[in-house]
Amino acid sequence: MTNHHVDDFIKRISDKIETVSGKTIDEASERDVYVGVASIVNDEIKHKWIRTSDTYEKEKVKQVYYLSMEFLVGRLLESNLLNGGLLDVTNEAIKKIGFEPKRVYAHEHDAGLGNGGLGRLAACFLDSLASLNYPGHGCGIRYRYGLFEQRIIHGHQIELPDYWLKEDYPWETRKGDESFKIHFRGDVHMHKRIDGSLEFRYENTDQVMAVPYDIPVVGYKNETVNTLRLWSAESITREKDYLTSQQSQYYHHLDHKHSIEQISGFLYPDDSSYEGKELRLKQQYFLVSASIQHILRQYKKQQRGPLTNLPEHVVIQINDTHPSLAIPELMRLLMDDEHYGWDDAWKITNKTIAYTNHTTLSEALEKWPKTMVERLLPRIYMIINEINERFCRGLWFDHPELRNVIPELAIIADDQVHMARLAIVGSFSVNGVARLHTEILKKKEMKNFYCLFPDRFNNKTNGITHRRWLLQINRGLSRLITEVIGTNWIQRPNQLISLLRYSKDSAFLEEVDKVKLHNKRELAQFIYDRTGIAVDEYSIFDVQIKRLHEYKRQLLNIFHVIYLYNELKDNPTLDITPRTFIFGAKAAPSYHLAKEVIKLIHTVASLVNYDPDIAGKLKVVFLENYNVSLAEKIIPAADISEQISTASKEASGTGNMKMMMNGALTVGTMDGANIEIRDLVGDQHIFMFGLTADEVLAYYEYGGYNARDIYNTDERVRRILNQLNEGVFGSQEIEFKDIYYNILYHNDPYFVLKDFDPYIEIHELVEQAYRDRTTWLNKSVTNIAYSGKFSSDRTIQEYASKIWKLNQVPINKATDEQ
């Protein structure tokens, strides 16, 4: 990059700051620079954005709409600069005017509109769609409050509201004139039309406006800018409603307005445990109705012919069952507004919608009380009922062998609407998110449905965008990779495989080692600034970052720490490689046991970190408020990636992929995508341990295993549990009683004790391996080399060619500057 370019860019920034903030560059604050640069990016992409949608419209290309209740986008300035090819020049320019680029980018508040894996996957998919020139858009909700901000006070999690819009959000554009009305409640009246067909009219409904806010999705060094459309709920009450009404009516209107705005008020913070809250159901219908109305209006505006052709032009992917009301909503619009008969409407719907399943946890399966659906969405309920009647009738007559399992297949059963069943019946594709997960769906969880619709089921192993999760967050490693294998891997992540040639090259390995050390040093500094804990940058950085859940077994990890602590207390001269255990995890606010585990981690940390016998050999760090931008700091510095879910429980995992791509070695169970990582890198380059999914599932068949046996026979385990129960780790004895009871009296439902011994053993192997630098680095590079498969580019190509039948549509460069 020439100085000339950088100076031009500085000029642009300073002009921008003058017009936007009314300051000279010398007066500008860090935030002014952030706002200025963001505005430059918006100028850069404006024309591409328009050209992209014009092209899709004129060429009448098939488009995919990804419907999701969550988009965990994180920050966008740096990734937009990277994708727009402006990152280097911007970094130079920012430095030259006396600021630190990372600090400037940190002025952006994370868009935390998701809980975890499912929401982040949606964001990675959007990045890949745009980068691969696919016509694909996201539809979601513009929650005024994202996932809560976590504070830790005396080791306890406290939740604070995340008001992410308090300062102007530079990436969104309100499109008031593209709003839609959404109807709730009311009465449905049936009339016969002259031609004998039935007409449904809705009366006395509560009406809500869905107003779209569009966010550009910038492709990597191409001309594509797709759209993430987030709907915001607004009341339709006009000023005159207030003026003509009485004083008491005034408050009534305000109250009404408030209750409507609640619909896009906040993101539900539970991941993997379903709660039957009416407001959540309202949110789901709100998203679905607005999005489907939008899709149909676009279709008609673009004159793509009769709606019987819809499946050739549009595909709707629903992200888990949360948007599965898309099925009855599309039926409703086709029948009630477009006057299609049931059979035609059903054909169109069934060929347009595809469903992704993200979990087999039974507590996460959505079921709505039928009375709630009926009251809130009367017309939708009628349609679901009809879908169910027809489906069950078909089963009865065409599948006599399934007659006795109809209650397990029926969409409405035991007074509940079963959303996964609705999603399977109403869509043409059902996919799991990793090979094992899809097999479990086919063979167990959805076995009968698989018998009915064998062709519908397919696997699409998850992926992550290597642009954000390698190129952007680990500049040092990316540079090094490019030095040896060139830049091809950036467009074709599979090319990372060429690194294998250097996996034994000592000069290269030394450089990889240096980069990792540098990243660890930066994280160590960050940890010190945030927590005051000084960690040894030469220690093993052993990382577990994900939502806190029993099945993810943070407990097993902390038991390992306690075990090592006990060992060192018994024998302070024990020669162990120093370790830093790093945790990041939010617990759902109502998840008591998860919160107790957070407290336990903190209690163990305060004991271990300052014990002179430990002499710094062990450090435990809990970084509060784990989110996308914190992940970006931790992942490049990880040596060990903890992926230790109870086998069969983690559908895929995506953190496993992110850390692998940054050279961490996985300590993992045979679960989710860990298995596919192992298949690629081979047993010698990963640390697998513990029960297999088949073993776990077999135990469950027979009511679990006997946790007491292990307590009785393994004194290491007994000691730890007794320490929990006796208050060794805390002032109050009762503090960790629930953990203790859950293991010994509820029979350790997640097999923590059962996997304890193999887990300790595998960590001993980790420690030995770490001592041999060259072999370790060879393993690390091998992991990076094979990580290309886990780019979401690969995943999206698979969705596009196998499910969506979607073509790439490159957008032409502007002929002249517009």
Residues labelled as active-site residues = 358, 546-547, 552, 654, 658
- Restricting to residues 335-394, name those near ligand 26W by CB under 6 A: 358-359, 364, 366
DSSP string, 634-656: HGGG-SEEEE-PPTT--S--SHH
Give the closest residue to 12 by CA, choosing from 78, 90, 84: 90
Answer yes or no: are the C-beta atoms of 499 and 512 closer than 8 Å: no
Which region among 30-38, 59-67, 113-121, 500-508 touches ligand 26W (by CB under 6 A)? 113-121
Alpha helical stretches, state H, 59-171: 77-83, 87-96, 101-105, 117-131
Query: Is 118 a residue that touches ligand 26W (CB under 6 A)?
Result: yes
Measured in residues, the chain has a length of 818
Provide the angle, in degrees to the nearest 10, between the axes of the packed helices 30-58 and 3-21.
100
Minimal CA–CA distance to 115: which of 697, 432, 589? 589
Binding characters for ligand 26W, 217-256, by CB under 6 A (x = yes): ----------------------------------------
**Total chain residues near ligand 26W (CB under 6 A):** 22
The neighbouring-strand residues paired with 227 are: 216
Task: Assess 654 for contact with ligand 26W (CB under 6 A).
Answer: yes
Does residue 418 bind ligand 26W (CB under 6 A)? Answer: no
CB-nearer residue toward ligand 26W: 270 or 445: 270
Taking alpha carbons only, the member of 802, 793, 811 closest to residue 127 is 793
By DSSP bridging, strand 416-418 and strand 412-413 are antiparallel
**Strand 416-418 and strand 367-369: pairing?**
antiparallel
Q: Which is nearer to ligand 26W, 162 or 320 (CB)?
A: 320
Nearer to ligand 26W, 117 or 216 (CB): 117
Query: Please, what is the angle between helix 715-726 and helix 554-570, to 10°?
Result: 100
Query: By CB under 6 A, what part of segment 664-683 binds ligand 26W?
Result: 672
| Closest CB 675 distance from ligand 26W, rounded Å | 12
Query: Judged by CB under 6 A, which of 117, 212, 493, 668 binds ligand 26W?
Result: 117
C-alpha closest to that of 296 among 435, 133, 382, 178: 178
Kindly tell me which residue out of 14, 53, 83, 115 binds ligand 26W, with binding defined by CB under 6 A: 115
358 vs 579, beta carbon nearer ligand 26W: 358
CB of 703 vs ligand 26W, minimal distance in Å: 25
The CA distance from 33 to 14, in Å, is 9
Long-range contacts of 274-277 (CB under 8 A, 24+ apart): 274/363, 274/364, 274/365, 274/366, 274/367, 276/367, 276/368, 276/369, 276/372
Q: What are phi and psi of 147, to 5 degrees?
A: -60, 135
- Shortest Å distance, C-beta 550 to ligand 26W: 13
- The 3-class SS string of 32-86 reads HHHHHHHHHHHHHHHHHHHHHHHHHHHCCCCEEEEECCCEEEECCHHHHHHHCCC
Q: Is there binding between residue 723 and ligand 26W (CB under 6 A)?
A: no
Neighbours of 658 (CB within 10 A): 29
Pairing between β-strand 314-319 and β-strand 63-67 as defined by DSSP bridges? parallel
Least distance (Å) between residue 118 CB and ligand 26W: 3
Over the window 313 to 332, marking each residue x when it contacts ligand 26W by CB under 6 A and - when it does not, the resulting string is -------x------------
Least distance (Å) between residue 642 CB and ligand 26W: 14
Contact track, ligand 26W, 273-312, x by CB under 6 A: -x--------------------------------------
- What is the nearest approach in angstroms of ligand 26W to the Cβ of residue 359? 4
Q: With CB under 6 A as the contact rule, which of the stretches 235-243, 334-342, 648-656, 721-729 interacts with ligand 26W?
A: 648-656
In the complex with ligand 26W, the residue whose CB is nearer, 291 or 359, is 359
For ligand 26W, which is the closer residue by CB, 89 or 556? Answer: 556
Using CB under 6 A as the criterion, what x/- string covers residues 454-473 for binding ligand 26W?
--------x-----------
Nearest to ligand 26W of 67, 118 (CB atom): 118
List of residues contacting ligand 26W (CB under 6 A): 115-118, 121, 270-272, 274, 320, 358-359, 364, 366, 433, 462, 650-654, 672
